């Protein structure tokens, strides 16, 4: 295990299972935490990465947990995705799971006034990378997925409630969650489950793009019922549950892993100063 790895609970819940993890950029990536947990439970994985610059960062991480298959995949390009999934099939034949941990919006679309700052181009780009890509990869994965397979994506509360500056990404996450339900309905008869993990804020490259992203973390810590940050272990544990047979009866669900932040209506006590 490299220094960057997480020491996740070990077992054999994913023994004999093969799958694809999309979205590892560095050691802070949510996809990396999930991959560490899946590896600790015996999964065999391929990682996809966005471009050459990221490959240099992702390869040592992958090798540290025994992941040998690294595949370039830019989700905005159909030819690139054709090639990527052909490589997955060549490496594994059939797969059992897929993790989609990919999102992007131009910085101008995730700060200030939503109604003033959202542009046609910015709207389309965020929707394309953060929501449509999940439909696309689910379709591709399902074609080579065994019965009992499981697919997850990562989402955030900004889909359901307004969060300052999250703006266009909140709209894209709403589309991602609705897509999760429609994909789950279509793939259910093929015995493939599809769910979304709604994680509380964590310091990653993606969060760095959002204005005042760090304040989102601080508020989560002080206002959530558990009064703590969302842990990588908690997110990865939920992913493991959904991707393994433990989650066999759950599909089309959005599950919050956020120290309970989403249930809070009034963040401070009525007798406290806010």
- Structure token pair of residue 254: 């959005």
Residue 30, classified by CB atoms within 10 Å of its CB into exposed (0-12), middle (13-18) or buried (19+), is: buried
Long-range contacts of 170-178 (CB under 8 A, 24+ apart): 171/123, 171/126, 171/127, 172/103, 172/105, 172/126, 172/127, 172/130, 172/131, 173/103, 173/130, 173/131, 175/127, 175/130, 175/131, 176/130, 176/131, 176/134, 177/254
Determine if 261 is a binding residue for ligand NAD (CB under 6 A).
no
Name which of 108 and 146 has its Cβ closer to ligand NAD. 108
| 156 is annotated as an active-site residue | yes
Among 85, 104, 166, 241, indicate the residue that binds ligand NAD (CB under 6 A): 104
Give residues 153-212 in contact with ligand NAD (rule: CB under 6 A). Answer: 154-156, 199, 201-202, 204-207
What is the total count of residues that contact ligand NAD (CB under 6 A)?
Answer: 27
Name which of 169 and 192 has its Cβ closer to ligand NAD. 169
Determine if 25 is a binding residue for ligand NAD (CB under 6 A).
yes
Catalytic: which of 6, 49, 104, 156?
156
Name which of 133 and 244 has its Cβ closer to ligand NAD. 133
Catalytic: which of 6, 49, 104, 166?
166
Binding residues vs ligand NAD (CB under 6 A):
23-25, 29-31, 50, 54, 73-76, 101-104, 129, 154-156, 199, 201-202, 204-207
């Amino acid at each position: 295990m490299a220094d960057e790895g997480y020491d996740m609970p070990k077992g054999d819940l994913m023994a004999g299972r093969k799958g694809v993890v999309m979205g590892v950029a560095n050691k802070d990536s949510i996809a990396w935490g999930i991959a560490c947990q899946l590896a600790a439970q015996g999964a065999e994985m391929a990682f996809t990465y966005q471009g050459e610059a990221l490959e240099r960062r992702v390869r040592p991480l992958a090798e540290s947990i025994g992941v040998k298959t690294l595949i370039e995949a830019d989700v905005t390009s159909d030819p690139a995705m054709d090639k990527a999934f052909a490589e997955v099939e060549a490496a594994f034949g059939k797969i059992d799971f897929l993790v989609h941990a990919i999102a992007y919006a131009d910085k101008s679309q995730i700060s200030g006034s939503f109604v003033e700052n959202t542009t046609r181009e910015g709207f389309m780009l965020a929707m394309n990378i953060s929501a449509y890509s999940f439909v696309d990869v689910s379709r591709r994965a399902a074609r080579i997925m065994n019965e009992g397979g499981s697919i997850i994506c990562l989402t955030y509360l900004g889909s359901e409630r307004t969060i300052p500056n999250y703006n266009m990404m909140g709209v894209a996450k709403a589309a991602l969650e609705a897509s999760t339900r429609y994909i789950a309905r279509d793939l259910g008869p093929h015995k493939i489950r599809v769910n979304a993990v709604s994680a509380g804020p964590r310091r990653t490259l993606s969060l760095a793009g959002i204005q005042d992203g760090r304040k989102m973390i601080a508020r989560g810590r002080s206002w959530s019922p558990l009064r703590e940050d969302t842990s990588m272990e908690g997110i990865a544990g939920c992913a493991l549950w959904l991707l393994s047979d433990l989650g066999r009866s759950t599909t089309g669900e959005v599950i919050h892993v956020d120290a309970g932040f989403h249930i809070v209506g009034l963040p401070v006590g009525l007798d406290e100063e806010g």
